[in-house]
Structure 1
Amino acid sequence: MNKITEYSLWEVLEQIKSSLKSKRLADVFRFTSFYPSETYGPHKHMRIEINYVKKGNCILHIDKESINFHEGDIMIISPNVEHLFEAGVNGTILMQLEFLPEIFSHLHSNIRIDTEAMPTPSFLFSKENRLIKIVNNINVIRTVQCIINELEHKGSHYQYLVVMYYAELLIFLYRYMHETYLSICTNDLLRKAICYIQHNYQTDINVNDIAGHASISERYLRKLFSQNLNLSPLDYLNQIRINKSIELLKNTEKSVKEVCFLCGFQSPQYFSRIFKQQIGLSPREIAKSQSPLF
């Protein structure tokens, strides 16, 4: 990397940092505990809110909908969305990060992407995507943890590193939305079915459950998936499960059997067969021994 490129990078980072209101890189960055069944809210705010469930379970209430979150899940709440948090019966420990959306907006406007065009942050965190639930995504968890660590310890030039971590986080979120096809899905019924799969793939759901949630027939559900994604609903469900299983196999010490059940497969034999069909390798060939993140 030559000096001009290096200078340009620092210049961009300084411009983003300096343009933030009150120079705030985050308003909330912490681990926090909730008592059993403790509630917080309802409330709403201008910030993007990211919560990682480190321990226990909880429920997020938005309008008339209640969404369950378990250990390892991530909730991302868009700005100005009223929500009520309720801890589980055994309490909950969250890793929390809240920041103004201007950070992502400045990243998008200051950094030029020459390859694939990326949607604007306002699209990603819109009323349509008021709540994003992510399950077992090691990359997002690790990046949020890095942001919190830097903000807590404030090492030399930490502000620049935090801005770069925010850029990394934004890319991982774009990737997640792209992989789940939500960003290209214009059919409301298909979007509803996809959201249901993404929120429940780790459980024993089937095509009938998916069709029922979208209030359509199984036949019409298959037609929607075939026309829009060139996949069957089951193929899409298995693709999501396999993608998540790869993350766990590469980044944790969980066994193949543990990953199998965490990702919604009911049989290790079926898991291995589908895995090899999609990846060309067995789960054991993909797995790496590595210490857990947290």
Structure 2
Amino acid sequence: MENSHVLQITKRHFSDLYLCFCGSAKCEPNHSFGPGIRDNYIIHYITKGKGKYYVNDTCYELSQGQGFLVEPHSQVFYQADKTNPWHYLWIGFNGTKVTQYLNDINLNSKHLTFQCNYSEDLNKIVQDMLSNNNFATSNQFLLESLLYAFFSILSKDIKPVLPSNDNNNFYVKKAIEFIENNYTNKLKITDIAKYVCITRNYLYLLFRKYLNVSPQEYVTNYRITRAEELLNSTTLSIETISNSCGYQDPLVFAKAFKAKKGFTPSQYRKKFSQEYFYNQITNNKK
């Protein structure tokens, strides 16, 4: 491993969720860890290149913009590609509520890998963590806020990445592609099944097996995630956002959004958009 930068945390002020260490590295070809276990939770996020992650007899082929969760005391092995080795960043963490927080962003034993398109934001957070490498009380609070910011970024755009060693995953991958390209329109589960050339019942079984949700739940979750982004980052009307996310009836959209987020779209925008726009303005001034 070359150009590795690591921060180890030994002094802790918090218990719900706390940072144990973080770092970034450019890996040499075939650089690997394991088989071995870790004592804390670790999220690796790939900023360049590719490699493989093995856990529970399952192989995930991962590349730029994707990442993986290592759970404590779970035997894992991961290795950089021999021709295009990955560069990645990582955060190690733990806490009394870590399982709850990971479930909130859809990372757990059933969903160990993910894709997120906010590479620059995640990289900046880790670099800020590495820059604040003394143990003053003010820095402890700053590191804690950066850890929550890392989780916040993941929650905006996290998507599952499926194992690469099961042919049935082909159908799920193609179904997800179809959903992402057509979620703005009226979308029936039969349309998805027809596109991937399997029955609706078989599609349901595959989604439950690999994603732990039904196809309909996945469509709803995807639409609400897109709506959340638009509420945060634009001044589009609720009706326009509703239509943009596949809901022809704004009342149906509002009901679905509240069921997932606990707020109506209007309430959500009032509560969170000011913070978003403040951050955007602040970043633009830098």
TM-score w.r.t. length of structure 2? 0.51
Q: Which has the higher helix share?
A: 1
Q: Which residue of the partner structure matches residue 146 of structure 2? A: 165
Please list the CA deviations of residues 240-271 of structure 1 after superposition, one character each: whole Å capped at 9, or x if unmatched: 89579979xx7xxxxxxxxxxxxxxxxxxxxx
SS of 2:203 mapped into structure 1: helix
Equivalent of residue 93 in structure 1, options 67, 87, 105: 87
- For residue 59 of structure 1, report the CA deviation from its aligned partner: 1.0
**Residue identity opposite 1:168 in structure 2:** A
Please list the CA deviations of residues 214-239 of structure 1 after superposition, one character each: whole Å capped at 9, or x if unmatched: xx8334536999xx879486x45973
Give the distance between the partners of 1:167 and 1:245, measured in 2 at CA. Answer: 18
* C-alpha contact (below 8 Å) 1:211/1:218 kept by paired residues: no
Please list the CA deviations of residues 86-124 of structure 1 after superposition, one character each: whole Å capped at 9, or x if unmatched: 11221111112223x12xx2xx59xxxxxxxxx834866
Q: Which residue of the partner structure matches residue 200 of structure 2? A: 218
Q: Which residue of the partner structure matches residue 183 of structure 1? A: none
Q: Which residue of the partner structure matches residue 18 of structure 1? A: 13
* C-alpha contact (below 8 Å) 1:45/1:81 kept by paired residues: yes
Question: What is the RMSD computed on CA atoms of the aligned residues?
Answer: 5.4
Moved more, 31-40 or 236-245: 236-245
SS of 1:46 mapped into structure 2: coil
Provide closer, same or farther for how the CA distance between residues 157 and 210 of structure 1 changes in structure 2, counting only shifts above 3 A: farther
Matched residue count: 210
Provide closer, same or farther for how the CA distance between residues 237 and 76 of structure 1 changes in structure 2, counting only shifts above 3 A: same
Provide closer, same or farther for how the CA distance between residues 197 and 151 of structure 1 changes in structure 2, counting only shifts above 3 A: farther
The 5 Å alignment of 1:195-210 reads: 201=177, 207=192
* C-alpha contact (below 8 Å) 2:26/2:86 kept by paired residues: yes
Moved more, 134-143 or 89-98: 134-143
Give the distance between the partners of 1:30 and 1:67, measured in 2 at CA. Answer: 22
2:67 is the alignment partner of 1:74: yes
Equivalent of residue 59 in structure 1, options 43, 52, 59: 52
Give the distance between the partners of 1:198 and 1:176, measured in 2 at CA. Answer: 19
Q: Which residue of the partner structure matches residue 245 of structure 2? A: 278
- For residue 145 of structure 1, report the CA deviation from its aligned partner: 2.0
Provide closer, same or farther for how the CA distance between residues 140 and 229 of structure 1 changes in structure 2, counting only shifts above 3 A: farther
Provide closer, same or farther for how the CA distance between residues 46 and 142 of structure 1 changes in structure 2, counting only shifts above 3 A: same
Structure 2's unaligned 5+ residue stretches are 1-10, 161-167, 182-190, 208-212, 234-240, 248-279
- For residue 48 of structure 1, report the CA deviation from its aligned partner: 1.0
Provide closer, same or farther for how the CA distance between residues 237 and 211 of structure 1 changes in structure 2, counting only shifts above 3 A: farther
The 5 Å alignment of 1:1-294 reads: 17-18=12-13, 25-27=19-21, 29-88=22-81, 89-99=83-93, 101-102=94-95, 105=96, 108=97, 120-121=100-101, 128-129=109-110, 131-137=112-118, 141=122, 144-145=125-126, 148-152=129-133, 157-171=138-152, 201=177, 207=192, 217-221=199-203, 231=216, 235=219, 239=223, 242=226, 277-278=244-245
Structure 1's unaligned 5+ residue stretches are 1-15, 110-118, 181-191, 251-273, 281-287
